[in-house]
Structure 1
Amino acid sequence: MKHFTVGMAGHIDHGKTTLTKALTNIDTDRLKEEKERNISIELGYAPLTLNEEMEVSLIDVPGHERFIRQMIAGVAGIDLVMLVVAGDEGMMPQTREHMDILRLLGIENGLIVVTKIDRIDEEMRELVELDIRESVEGTFLEESPLFFVDSVNGEGVEKLKEGIAQKLVIHSSRDASGAFRLPIDQVFTVHGQGTVVRGTVYEGLVQEGDVLELLPKRIPVRARQLQVHHQPRELGRAGQRVAINVGGVSKEEIRRGDVLVSRGHYETTETIDVALTTVAELQFSLKQRGVIKLHIGTAEVYGKIVFFDRNELVEGNEELVCQIRLEEPVVTRRGDRFILRRPTPTETIGGGKIIDAHGGKYRFGVETIDALKEKMAATPEERLFQLLLDKKMLTVKDVSKELNVPEEEVKEQLSQNESLLSLPSGELTSESVMRTLSGSIETELERYHSEFPLREGIKKAEIIQGYQKTYPKRLVDWTLEEGTRTSSFTIRGPFVSLKEHEPHPPEQWGKRVDHVLAAIKKEELQVTPIQTHLSAQQIPQGLHDELIYYFHQQQILFQIDEKLSIHREPFKKAVETLFKQTDTAFTLQDAKEVTGLSRKYLVPFVEKLDKLDLTLRQEQERKWRVSEVENWLDNES
């Protein structure tokens, strides 16, 4: 099945919402204010049933100029647009601005719908069509089919549905092979369920249970449940409208424009190099470092425009390269489309493509312009790095196939470019991919060490499992091993930690923990339960299990039964004394005479010697494992 998103565009009160209802039988105006004012304020969504081969989401966008940001957020991720024009009014200013925005966003698939045809006669229909055809001449809608529809009585609705299906059947579905990315356009709470976000999936797949990342705040979340138009799904894919019940974050921490992504795959940026195409007519000039509003995905962010070949943009209908410096971070990548608007006086300036999502600082002048244009041209090397950014790790053969270049050319780039990395298994990756993955793991470990300072780290298997939906297992494993060589990570047994991390009690409880250990040490072998000591120091109950695990893991205490633990120093001293004052084997009675312990403490003590492989029980005696005891005592010294 193919998955598509269809958007509407057009002037206010030209019948987009009524047409949506005629096509889907759903009223997308859900807000009280929308009902009272009879205008769309927020984006509306509805499933459009066309045939069994495709699943289509319909987006109804506001037509009023005050809600242009909602319109841009709605059409940014669509596969097909319907330009809606009321028959009794024809092309209007907002219709033309919507057309500019659609063109600048690179939308190339569309059709035209004339509504309210009950208000015009046949002769007027011809005039309306002529006016529209003249208005769309030279645009992507120039050859588009045009439909006349009465959304109230249903005239022309079925023909329109057939036209939409014919347009979509030859349109490719979005690529679901990349890492998951969903720009959020709605966030709300559901009683008993928690926080829910909605959006159109730009890339990749998402499954129930996936651990994702909310950008730009870098909050880890879990996809608990998925729905597509109120129907539960286990999987969401590129091109679909998906609602995701996310765990680990509150509604107040999310806003429209945030992006839900595969963990560790995307970075944020505040400086982007762009190829900008301006609208045909600019009402006002735009000065160097002038304030702009960037619309990208569903985000709307203020910033400044930086020119490298002029101090003022005066004429419209220009194509130029420049830079945008933002006040807040956004999530984007090379090739993404954007719209630029002027905050005041309000005006669409233009739009275009991202050349580099992580722009640098450049000098004013022709050299910078040439460099940006060269970067825009996408050299084979850049295409290779973009491919590795998408796929993470590929063989030389796969790269050759994807880029349609000889394998020898790929090998030559590998030998000449230090930013290309070869894994021991033979696959290729890039320094950027590895750096992003390594940085994400470091951030995760920092957060984990902060939350659980008593623990050694995260199990290596858990890290690999958490990332392997985005990164191949071998790449994650290799990145961790490389991290140990570059002093980023430490691997101790099954655990991975930051190099500088040593398990330790939380600072605010450090002195009280010292008092607990001093009290247990003073008791020597006849100890009271460790919980008693922790409670006596008024250490929070929630920390008890963590602290006990830490004491045992670090062998500060030796656990002899469920409740009793002996400090390492008296424990070692008792083992040494018993070893020296008994023969190669000893009985419980022998141990009692040496240690003076009652049976309550003596039995778990000698059983602990068995568990440490220091003794071997043989019927009523225990035989010393001499070499093991000597090694153990040396290590404990």
Structure 2
Amino acid sequence: QEGVPSQRTALNLGGIAMEDLRRGNIICRSNFFTPTDDLIAVAKLLGGRKKVKNNTHIELLTGTDSITGKLILLNENDTLQGETLVRIRFDETNYFYPGQPFVLANPGGYRIIGGGRIVVPHFNPRVHRKGLKSVSPEIEIKTREDFIALNIAVNSWMLRERIHSFIPASKRASEKILTDIEQAGKIISRNDFVIWNSWYTESKNAVRRAVTSLLGPNIKEISDRSGVPMEICSILLKEIQKEDVLLEKDGRFFTKDSVTEDTLTTSKKKIMEELKRMAGEGIELDRVTDDIKKKEIRDLVKLGFLISLDGNIIYHKQVYDDMTKRVLALFSTREKITVPEAKDAVGLSRKFILPLLNRIENDGLIRRLGDFRVKV
């Protein structure tokens, strides 16, 4: 059962003496408030105020509390006649949550000059300035969805549990909000994280560049080079592995250009040895029942260590190169060759010789002329 605003409620507060309770105390979930001395808010001046100067000393009144600080304009031309994003830096640490309303007053509280709501309860210029600049001109701060979206945008990524903790609503309600934001295309959900869409794309590209610019980097080296936190790096690397030719061995990542037989995993080396022993017999992928082995074979094909004739028949590259040389050697004594002649030269059955000739043709070394093959 959920309560409603102003409802009288009995609380069982274990370990808290009655005399310790004061007017203005707040009951909240764990980590609801954010300790901070620097934040982003949306503010508006009262009608009689024409403008406010940058770095104006203010007193912020919220609930029964007040705290002094400076109001910093994000744009020197801002007048705060309408709701405008501003930065407020306090003289000491206090506690806030997104959407928390406040009143702006002159220091001492003798004159009210405006009001607003907290948007991003903790602002670190070095970390958050880029994210804030990229979204603040285009985002409205009207609904609870807007507050959450801007927090994710400024932070670039957040843990779902952190968002659940600072929203003054149930977990189910906050999940509904996150779903709506994701369906609007603003965020991407990955495991326990929500990631701002544009930052996700930029970070994925940065991780790719980091991997290609280093030789066998580990995840920390990739994180340091790309500027993407390790938690997100781990997620992005798994996705890149599915899309690109990227292998992991002993915690280090290798691109196609940097992979040698020596850097292959033990399981991949075993597959290479097996295919080398099988020579012209090769291996038919649709007969491989082990899904992990099948994936590793496909990886080795992408890396160029194995050759796929037709998507199913697989050879070791050295075996394929040797058979190709034997087929091409036939042209030293004739201008065109038949399928049986090629079959005898490499010792393959008709089932395998046709895919082999087709693959050699795809490589641009021969072409078909009726029932014959001629050298290109």
Fold match (TM-score > 0.5)? no
Higher relative contact order (CA 8 A, sep 6+): 2
TM-score range, shorter chain: 0.3 to 0.5
TM-score (norm. length: structure 2)? 0.43
